[in-house]
Amino acid sequence: MLLLAIGPVLAAALFWAFIMWWKWATLFAAVDSLLKTLPYVERFIDRLVIYGFSVVPGVLALWVLIALFIPLTLVCALGFISVVGMPLMLKHVAARDFATLEARRGGSLAGSLGNSVGALVKFIVLALLTFPIWFIPLFGWLVLPMLLGRLNTLVLRYDALAEHASTEELKRLCGERNRSWGWLGFGGALLNIVPFFWFFSTTLTGLAFIHYGLNALASERGNALKELT
């Protein structure tokens, strides 16, 4: 379990660190060109250069690459947890805390993959649309955690319920506008900015979704049984 907690984020971080080291010049040039296409950024850089701060464009491009490194790492780690980690954690938690909860297997591996891909596409679109405001102090710094939190929610709530919920239960519980799902996802995203917890954030978030999802499912079935009796 410790390897599952640390492994995905560490492996993803090493992978993207290698990619950035290997293609550093290309990536740096691409980011620098991208920043110059944003009118307000270009004017800001030009003004700084006029006043003698010629090093600023390079520092800004470096900052952007560092900012991109974090979501790339976490998205890769989330993908691994979704496909490999969640079934293992779900089996462990269900056997220990939800042994009497019937597994109706309304989800599937294909469904999980399709759900994850759809969530990732939404994340990429929103990330591209909001990228220019990531660098606005305070407000902009909340955008990425909100996007990662939404990605956590869309991916992990399906995986948490796929084994035990029926098809109808899965659609209903995943389709509900339950704010608790969103807060769990956002809380998991905020763990990424806490020292040390960064390496465990994806796994801890997955465990939180499993416990909450199985509790919600057990509660729903309990209420349905009471109504019948």
Contacts of 60 (CB under 8 A, 6+ apart): 35, 41, 45
Backbone phi, psi, residue 164, to 5°:
-100, -30
> Would you state the torsion angle of the CA atoms of residues 50, 52, 55, 56, taken in this order, to the nearest 10 degrees?
-60
pLDDT, tens only, 123-139: 988 988 887 777 676 77
Q: At what angle do helices 139-161 and 86-97 cross, to 10 degrees?
A: 60
pLDDT, tens only, 39-68: 555 566 566 555 555 555 566 777 777 777
Helix, strand or coil, per DSSP, at residue 143: helix
Side-chain-side CA neighbours of residue 173 (13 Å): 30
> Would you state the torsion angle of the CA atoms of residues 7, 109, 204, 6, taken in this order, to the nearest 10 degrees?
0
**Containing structural domain, residue 92:** 2-228
Q: Which residues in the chain land under pLDDT 70?
A: 1-7, 34-59, 135, 137, 176-177, 195, 224-229
pTM: 0.78
Cα distance between residue 81 and residue 88, in whole Å: 9
Contacts of 73 (CB under 8 A, 6+ apart): 9, 12, 13, 16
